[in-house]
Amino acid sequence: MTIYWDLLSTFFKMGLFTFGGGYAMLPLLQREVVEKKKWATEAELMDYYAIGQSTPGIIAVNTASFVGYFQGGLLGAIAATIGLVLPSIMIILVVASVLHQLTDFAWLDHAFAGIRVAVSALVSFSVYKLGKAGIADTFGLVWALLTFAAIAFLKLSPIWIVAVSFVLGNVLRRREGDRAS
Amino acid sequence: MEKRSTYSRLFTVFFRIGLFTFGGGFAMLPLIEKEIVDVHGWARRDEILDIFALAQSVPGAIGVNTAVFIGLRLRGLLGAMAALLGVVTPSIAIILVIARLFSQFQSNLHLLRAFSGVKAAVVGLIAAAAWRAGKNGVVDRFGLLVVGVAFLLSAFAIIPIIWVIVLGGLGGILHYRRKEGVQ
């Protein structure tokens, strides 16, 4: 099995079972990319997400391109991205073609309600694992909790929080470095 | 003002959206709405909002799904391909550049410091997304049960993650069917 096919089929699975956007992909990324394939470590996954948040574009696509590039260069990045988007194309073609016939989507709504709840539990466990790998000190822990509160309760925009994090990380770390030296 | 939605225009519009939105697919939605409805007049606002709802309820990345749905609605399968190619091309190009310079980034002290802040924020961001999805879903004892079971199944890696998701879906169908039967 070539690496390209391996990337394509692995990310196909992720595209097929990601419900709710880039963050919902995290549990599958940890299981498939970190634990099974060993294409990245937990800490590298954290880097990819951090870069994905601070660069333009769709986070799932950014992450797929990253993993794909490090495994198989440009073609690897393209193979992973194609794998990721193929299920979307196939499913949407089907949905669009049956949309005018199906008036009663109630059972589907119920399925999604169950899925969303299951995914939120999966992600909360994943985020604990991610935090263990990516947060090194008290500053990190406090900032993660503040970010959580700002978005969950105050409904601030993630974009501004990422921008502030950039500056704050730089300033605080420099002061720490100055103190140490 | 109203120009036809050709393949190349679809590509260009979605390329611009892919290039200029930070924060992932979800953050693209307001920009997509503005471009498609207000700037180009290719669809009505209620049509676009319906598409946003659909794009978030089928599996896959939200930005990808939205581009495919809109391209398909406007110009068929090739239109879907044009929109999708447009929205992902900037991502891939930017990530390729960053990936190539990755080792240099890792020795740049300024970037490392800055990213230590971003990483902490990302943990909070993802936790908040999970919390919000859970809060909307856990409205009764059934929701709590699903959260508990899914958490245990994933924490102890008892069954593949995909099966946890499938079980959540099946549980949802069975539970709500029973509830409707009672009423």
Tens-place pLDDT, residues B125-166: 889 888 887 887 777 888 888 888 888 888 887 788 888 888
Q: Is the pLDDT of residue A145 over 50?
A: yes
When CB atoms are compared, the residue of A13, A46, A110 closest to B176 is A110
Neighbours of A163 (CB within 10 A): 15
pLDDT value at position A181? Answer: 35
pLDDT at residue A130 tops 80: yes
- pLDDT tens, position by position, A35-54: 999 999 998 999 998 898 88
Q: DSSP secondary-structure letter at B72?
A: H
> And the tokens for A21?
């956007």
DSSP B109: H
Q: What is the pLDDT of residue A91?
A: 93
What pLDDT score does B1 carry?
46
Would you state the pLDDT for residue A180?
Answer: 41
Q: Closest by alpha carbon to B152, among A124, A42, A110?
A: A124
Is residue B140 exposed (0-12), middle (13-18) or buried (19+ Cβ within 10 Å)?
A: exposed
pLDDT score for A35:
93
In this structure, the answer to whether residues A25 and A105 fall within a common structural domain is yes
Specify whether A152 is located in the same domain as A77: no
- Same domain? For A18 and A32 the reply is yes
Residue among B130, B161, B170 whose CB faces A31 most closely: B161
Q: Out of A103, A119, A134, pick the residue that ends a domain.
A: A134
Over residues A22-38, the mean pLDDT reads 90
All residues of chain A having their beta carbon less than 8 Å from the beta carbon of residue B146 are 114, 117-118, 121
Task: Tell me, yes or no, whether A61 and A73 share the same domain.
Answer: yes
- Domain carrying residue A110: 2-134
Whole-model pTM: value is 0.87
Q: What is the mean pLDDT of residues A136-145?
A: 88
**Domain count within chain A:** 2
A56 - beta bridge partners? B22
Confidence label for A2 from pLDDT (cuts 50, 70 and 90) = very high
A49 and A69 both lie in a single domain = yes
Q: Which residue has the higher pLDDT, A180 or A80?
A: A80
Q: Are residues A152 and A126 in the same domain?
A: no
Report the b/e string of B42-58 with b at 16+ CB within 10 A: bbeeeebeebbebbbbb
Render pLDDT for A95-126 as a digit per residue (tens, 0 to 9): 888 876 655 667 777 888 888 888 888 888 88
Residues of chain B short of pLDDT 50, as ranges, are 1
Same domain membership, residue A54 and residue A20: yes
Question: Are residue A170 and residue A97 in the same domain, yes or no?
Answer: no
Is A30 in the same domain as A101? yes
Mean pLDDT lowest among A65-69, A167-171, B95-99: A167-171
In Å, how far are B24, B75, B93, B177 from B21, measured between CA atoms? 7, 24, 15, 40
Q: How far apart are the CA of B27 and the nearest CA of chain A, in angstroms?
A: 9
ipTM of the complex in this document: 0.86
User: Is any Cβ of chain B less than 8 angstroms from the Cβ of A68?
Assistant: no
Please tell me which of the candidates B119, B137, B154 has its beta carbon nearest to residue A122: B154
**A150 and A86 assigned to the same domain:** no
Domain match, A53 and A119 both: yes
Q: Could you tell me if A53 and A102 lie in one domain?
A: yes
